[in-house]
Structure 1
């Protein structure tokens, strides 16, 4: 009986001691969380009393801290991107608007000749067209990025679609004195995707290649065992690593001049559409060639 009482006392002391240290560790952890919530520290939770269950709890708390930090960083990045986008679109709208208003004032003058009036009207029309394209692209991108953006997936012949798009750019190639190199297999390459989305992606990439090519444009279609890859490449004079990294950012232009051609939304639209079709759009540079690669899974 004595041995039973001694054993009971030992067990009780052990339990009470364990509870004491656990309670002390809970208070210590609570204090650390309180300091973290008040931004008094950015340090993760650490424990001094090692208990398997408490270690698991501390690990989950630290995981949640990491997720919270990541969410805050993404929020800051999104806010900065939004501010930059607003700044860019404001600039891109303000520039043609200023031009339009300025030439409208000239048109109100009775002293201008018919030739000058015709020229000013043409400038006003061009400015209005640019505004229309900018606003349409911005609206389209905002719609595409919505989670419920509808996609009509069907079987399409990618060879035929590419050739149709290229035929529509015949005059654009001629204006730039460009003769594209086209490498498309004779056999049909069939793809499950949204026809209009794929067409828009190809159009945007071709426009980008024509606009910024320093002399050559190449369109190549390849079929592999598990994927189909369309590569549209063009020669470039100057393209920094920063330009490459921000290629698909909204309103980003490699020359960083906001009065150049284009809205800076063509590539972001193309990338968003590829993502909606579970495809990939990447950019890479090799020497003086920029490669835009679209990849769909078979």
Structure 2
């Protein structure tokens, strides 16, 4: 723990020194142009004060002209007379304009039957018309008006000049000057008994600036006034002057105290600037040397707090780093402003806080730079960036919202209409104007109300769908949900109806499955118990004493037959189970399907001859090949032929055919059933299901189930058709060309 704290303290001190050094360098860059001057009198600030003083004496003394002189020098040219005369158009235009101005006023006064006002307006109109006519007759008449205008301009100029002089900074009035117009020899000075520039130069001065006729040392006054706009300045501007002489700042006198204070403060700050700048450079060098021994970046990288930083997305880290750099730079610049007077800023201003804040920002920035440096090359981090995650989230959100484009667009348009309606209502009520209110009212009736009705209608449909879905979830399947159109809600309602019918069908199938399961258990029990009971019974009889050899042999023969019967039942049951689960392998080969059928029929030749049935086998014109497991397909034919022999009506014909149609092989068996085939024919495919419901025949009830499973494994189909007592089995398989 002590080692960690020592490391942290060293790092903190190192960062503090880095901050001090960087602030000093910024101070040099920011204030160097100010403090690297020879003295205060060579700074831009002081030169600006001198220029302001020259402007002041130019206006207040050198170019000063009295009101009497300005007005006595007024001159009016013919161009000015003509401009004033035609300023508002020709004579006819001006007369017409005056008549139009008073026409409405006179008519209103007449309508009010106010004859005094009528006469007053007519008198004013006639006087103005007479004055306009006189303007076009007499130049002297116009000249008098132009002189009055110029006198008004002079009065405005004098007022602005006096205001400029009154507002001049008194702190800058401590300068002395002795200036002479080179061309006229006129002298301007604010020092009594001064006869030449040397009289000022010989005095104890803080500052002296001489102006001579040389190009670099001359003083040229342009004669313009800074407080006037361009047009006024052009009118009152005087001729440029070339001035020689001297401007000084005496070392004595109260009027120059402010500039003296500025000079002394500058010298103090300049000295402090040099000290802090040199110290900062030395500190930066020391920090670099110390860093080589202490390795601060490795210490920062090994911090146990970095584990929390790794959880932050990379783009958030980069933004945070950029913000840290920005605030660090701002803090360093603000802190650097105090380096010319660090003592005062720390004690009497916010300098200490600004320095500590700069230390904090430098530390935060350095830590982030070290921690993020090792992660910049990891591509996976950019894939997990916050903006990438937000983009994916927004994309999924938009995709979900516009999965059904019509619904998404409709809702978006509804929201836009509602927003615009609310915004329009706010504008109308805040600034009620009749025209604007009328437009809004029309739009509200034509657009907003139909949209609201449309929205309420669909909300009602949606609520009905929710209610219906709740009823469906509760198991109420009686009534369909009515719907119209092809909208998304209509499609949803239709899907709910289909789902309800599917649930009904599923329930029926479930009930049927339960019934068949019960029948299966019953049938299996019966079919297995019957031979087993016979075996047990005859076994007990064999144990009896005094049994004759004939009875003994007869009982053994019965036990053997019933045992084989039981074995067949069990083998068929296992095979049917394997078929149903698909847990069987097929050894497919190219097989002549008709030849395979003939072989299966040949196995039953003796049985067929002993029966009263007549078999009719349709022979194809050519060989028909299929890609099947010959042994399994032979079992299908064996089961079907066995069923035909057991369940066909005596003295009837059996038709067997093999046909090749459109890349398919169709094999059919047709016979007349000796038993009435009622109920669901598809149930004949169920295990232990027989057409002989009394179960007097020797069948296992698994033949068709096994046959159908084998055909399904070959991706074929086995269908049963019944028309009265006519029983037909059709097998379809893929043919090989």
Provide TM-score, normalisation by structure 1. 0.83
State the partner residue of 2:703.
266
Report the RMSD for the aligned CA atoms in angstroms.
Answer: 3.2
Alignment partners' CA distance in 2, 1:227 and 1:197: 19
Aligned to 1:122: 557
- The structural deviation recorded for 1:248 is 3.4
Between the aligned partners of 1:243 and 1:46, the Cα distance in structure 2 is: 33
More moved, 276-285 vs 239-248: 239-248
CA displacement at 1:3 relative to structure 2? 4.7
How far off is 1:203 after superposition?
A: 0.8
Larger RCO: Structure 1 or Structure 2 (Cα < 8 Å, ≥ 6 residues apart)?
A: 1
Distance 1:93 1:273 in 2: 24
- SS of the aligned residue for 2:581 comes to coil
Q: SS at 2:698's partner residue? A: coil
Whole-angstrom distance in 2 between the partners of 1:30 and 1:150: 50
2:626 corresponds in structure 1 to 191
**In the TM superposition, what whole-angstrom CA distance separates every residue of 1:4-40 from its partner, at most 9, and x where no partner exists?**
6446755555555555444444333322222333234
Structure 1, residues 181-233: CA drift from partner, whole Å, max 9, x if none?
A: 44334632211222222111111111112223423444333333443232334
Q: 1:158 aligned to 2:612?
A: no
- Aligned counterpart, 1:28: 464
SS at 2:622's partner residue?
A: coil
Q: 2:722 and 2:499 mapped to 1: Cα distance?
A: 38
- By how many angstroms is 1:238 displaced? 4.8
Structure 2 unmatched ranges of 5 or more:
1-435
Check the 8 A contact 2:664/2:733 in 1, yes or no.
yes
- Distance of aligned partners of 1:3 and 1:148 in 2 relative to their CA distance in 1, 3 Å threshold: farther
Q: Which has the larger radius of gyration?
A: 2
Cα deviation per residue 1:246-294 (whole Å; 9 max; x = unaligned)? 5434323233222321111112221222233233333446787644332
- Where do 1:1-298 residues align within 5 Å? 1-3=436-438, 5-6=440-441, 17-46=453-482, 52-147=487-582, 149-176=584-611, 180-185=615-620, 187-213=622-648, 214-215=650-651, 216-240=653-677, 242=679, 246-284=683-721, 290-298=727-735
> Once structures 1 and 2 are overlaid, which stretch shifts more, 253-262 or 226-235?
226-235
Give the Cα–Cα distance (whole angstroms) in 2 for the partners of residues 289 and 29 of structure 1.
49
Match of 1:145, SS state, is helix
Figure out how many residues of one structure are paired with residues of the other and give that number: 297
Describe the shift of the 1:188–1:71 C-alpha distance in structure 2 as closer, same or farther (beyond 3 A). same
Match of 2:719, SS state, is: strand
**Bigger CA drift: 92-101 or 217-226?**
217-226
For the residue of structure 1 that corresponds to 2:685, the secondary structure is coil
Q: Matched residue of 2:691: which SS? A: coil
Normalising by structure 2, report the TM-score.
0.37
Instruction: Answer whether contact 1:100 1:128 (CA < 8 A) is retained.
Output: yes
